[in-house]
A and B are shown apart, each in its own frame.
Chain A
Amino acid sequence: MRDILYREVDVPCDVEAAWQYVIDPSWLGDDGELDVVPGGEGWVSDGEETRFLVVEEVDEERHLSFRWAGFVDAPSRVEIDLEPTLEGTRISISESPLEARAMASLVVG
């Protein structure tokens, strides 16, 4: 199944700096904390909503994935990839609901 949400952004800094922005969860909302190791936990507040995160994969300066869920929102998986470009770094982000993925593979083809 293709990722349901996909975004790309080119930032004018090297992957080392871009990685530092990505692993600081405050950009995901108003404020947050995240223990950036596989299995590490964290939270992000975004207005009235708080989401809880569990880190899945960490490949420094290249890839970060985590699951997250709020009190209302169904859990989803976010994958972030960093790639050096001529002018800086391309950050690509995708998000897809967890159940949909699991179910899609179970459902008869």
Chain B
Amino acid sequence: MRDTISDVFAALADTTRRGLYEQLLDSTNGRTATALAGDAVVSRQAIVKHLQVLARSGLVVGRRDGREVRYFVTPNGTASASTWLLKRAEAWDRRIAKLDDQSRSTARRRRVP
């Protein structure tokens, strides 16, 4: 089974890739690896590899443009990952509230002589 949520987190766990993804989010016409390498400290080759990781995770899609590939963000690419995160975050809020309640009620009971 392909686990897209983990792929998305893994893709965005790297700061370079996150930066590339943010740049693509801001561009309406997509960008090529060459264009992205223009204002990056890493090589074009590294950018291509990072873009391939982003593409495998489903966050971006590459379309052939002459001799290059132009990358675009996928609409709702982060949707499944953010739903996962939100669901988990809510669950932890509930658990922590429970832990907090338990410890407070015991602390109160202990204070009563």
Contact = CB atoms under 8 A, between A and B. Distances in A.
Interface in A94-109: 95-100, 103-104, 107-109
Interface of A: 1-2, 4-5, 7, 9, 11-13, 17-18, 21-22, 27-29, 46, 74, 76, 88, 91, 93, 95-100, 103-104, 107-109
Given A27-B95, A104-B13, A107-B14, A13 B5 contact: no
B92 A13 contact: no
Interface in B54-113: 85, 88-89, 91-93, 95-96, 98-100, 102-104, 106-107
Secondary structure of the B side of the interface? Answer: helix
A11 B106 CA distance: 11
Interface residues of B, number: 30
B78 to A, nearest CB: 13
B46 interface: yes
B29 interface: no
Contacts of A17: 103, 106
